[in-house]
Amino acid sequence: MSTAASDHKLTEPLQPLEPPADSRADRWDRFDTAVVVAAFIATFVVHPIHDALTQPYWLDEAWVAVLTRVPWSHVTGMSSSTPVGFLALLKLVPGSGEQRGRLLVLAFTGGTVVLAYVFARGLRWASKPRARFAGAVAAFVAMLAPLSLLRNDLKQYTCDAFCALVILVVAARVERDPDRTRVWWLGIAAVVVLPFSSTSAFVAMPVFAGLLGSALLARARRRALEVAVTAAATGLLIAGYFGAVILANTNVKLRAYWNSFYLYGSLSDSLGQVWRRLSHLHLWLGMPALVFVVLVVVGIVALARLGAPSIALALPLLWIEMGTVAHLRRYPFLDVRTSHFLLMASFVVGAVGVAWVVQLVYRWNRVSAVATIVLLAWLFSIGFRPWVDTLNISYENARAQAHYVANHRTPNDVILVNSGGAFGFSYYWPHGSIATELDDSSGQGFRAEVKVLAARWMIGRSDAEVLNALREAVRTWHAAGPGSRLFIVRSHVLAKEALAWKRAFAALDLHPRVVHLRVEPLLVLGPASPPGGAGH
């Protein structure tokens, strides 16, 4: 054999054990387009769109929403808990609805469903109908998994899942068609999605490792070198971004918040913690943890058989990587929000395994295959049916408080806003712009206030902090003259903070009037209405 022929042989990708019988099986057509469009639209149908657009933001959402009302130049410095790219997209969402940002979250959920179809459809199935069936199964699972149905709050987690699948789809294409899709396309994809999803960096490295392992197993030396060089260049760019943007804006308070979701102790201790956390997620998974693990393992085997050994290697490496990072106290592990990208990627791989098993059964007996898919769909429906059209968002009413105070205050009135209510109150305040200030004392990494509003903005929730803030507000209120009032705006009041307020009112002998605004009441000291009627 000549040297040229030998080199060509060494650069060939690892051949799948089940190559497609139909060479046109991977060709995308209008039917596939119609399926993904229908899947994207159906995603919005199974989510409570009306409730998502009408229920006010709660604290965790409000600190994201408030950044849509600050100048572009402030976005990067305030990105300790929200990627800058995601914030930029939120600022670009058109319309005037106060909760319209949740549409972006649902759009990424729909995009994840589409990519699940694309990923499974693009594997080396024996025929186009089988490829489409696999894609439909993956899309169905990605759409209706409880953790997907219940993830509709204004956070970046659905974007994380979408970006993770972007990387998997590109990697699968790179491996399936190396002549037309070079490895550097994966590097480009990993860098492009990074500003929108910090967790995409965790996905990119195992995927590169999987491609490298696949090339080495196939003894494709040139391919392995190409992967290694691209991975190194991509890693340097990712490291530079993390150093300049992520680490520079991470605060100790935020990291400490996740203490209970890091891993501790020996390897056996950590594995026990992982299993307990996964077991506690059974409602979000829609199945027992053991079943989930078995399906993912079957999916990994299926990927190896269907021409995607790099992804089959990458997924276990991703789990190991996330466990290692958690043990180093750098990222929480198996929290249903922050690990959404990991769980959704695993769900899609598990769906590929289901489609593969059904097709194996189909070769043996068609009736049994139909019965198998019906049985599996019914069992899966038991887990997801209770969560269809469900808004999994805490009800807090900073919007009603802000609107009430704006409509009833006079220039002499005093406003006191607790630390948990500042973000929502600022976002929903109808007049004036918002000022932000970096603040490492909070997990958000910044504070928000309405610029033109002479309000007192609290920091902290302890007995002393509450008492001091209330005492100063009362002193200002008394100096404001007859007819003035003190509006006490409180949101996201935790149990210890509620006791602190109760003690502070008792210590100062205050008996505020309660204005009932559904869940979170507004407290008022002073006359029921100012002289001359309602304020402005």
In the 8-state DSSP scheme, what is residue 117?
H
- The answer to whether the Cα torsion of 24, 296, 116, 241 is positive or negative is negative
Q: What is the mean pLDDT of residues 142-166?
A: 96
Residue type, 9: K
Per-residue confidence (pLDDT) for residue 12, from 0 to 100: 42
Per-residue confidence (pLDDT) for residue 533, from 0 to 100: 52
534, two tokens: 């309602």
Rg of the chain over all Cα atoms, to the nearest angstrom: 27
Alpha carbon 110 to its chain's center: 13
Per-residue confidence (pLDDT) for residue 444, from 0 to 100: 67
For 502, counting Cβ atoms within 10 Å of its Cβ (0-12 exposed, 13-18 middle, 19+ buried), the class is exposed
Question: How do beta strands 456-457 and 414-417 pair?
Answer: parallel
Per-residue confidence (pLDDT) for residue 257, from 0 to 100: 77
Residue pair 80/444 in contact (Cβ under 8 Å)? The answer is: yes
Residue pair 347/141 in contact (Cβ under 8 Å)? The answer is: yes
Per-residue confidence (pLDDT) for residue 80, from 0 to 100: 67
| Cβ neighbours, 10 Å, residue 310 | 30
Highest mean pLDDT (candidates 165-169, 247-251, 422-426, 492-496): 165-169
Highest mean pLDDT (candidates 282-296, 363-377, 421-435): 282-296
Q: List helix spans (H) across 2-101.
A: 3-10, 30-45, 49-54, 59-65, 84-92
Question: Quick check: 370 pLDDT over 70?
Answer: yes
In the 8-state DSSP scheme, what is residue 83?
-
DSSP sequence for 345-407: HHHHHHHHHHHHHHHHHHHH-HHHHHHHHHHHHHHHHHHHGGGTT--------HHHHHHHHHH
* pLDDT tens-place string over residues 222-251: 889 999 999 999 999 999 988 888 776 677
Q: What is the mean pLDDT of residues 421-441?
A: 80
Q: List helix spans (H) across 442-518.
A: 463-479, 495-507
DSSP sequence for 242-258: IIIIIGGG--HHHHHHT
Helix (H, G, I), strand (E, B) or coil at 435: strand
Closest CA to 485 of 446, 453, 448, 528: 528
CA dist., res. 184 & res. 366, Å (int)? 42
Residue pair 398/467 in contact (Cβ under 8 Å)? The answer is: no
Phi/psi for 114 (5° steps) reads -60, -45
Helix (H, G, I), strand (E, B) or coil at 174: helix
Residue pair 458/531 in contact (Cβ under 8 Å)? The answer is: no
* pLDDT tens-place string over residues 88-142: 999 999 988 899 999 999 999 999 999 999 999 999 998 999 999 999 999 999 9
| Cβ neighbours, 10 Å, residue 253 | 15
Question: Quick check: 157 pLDDT over 90?
Answer: yes
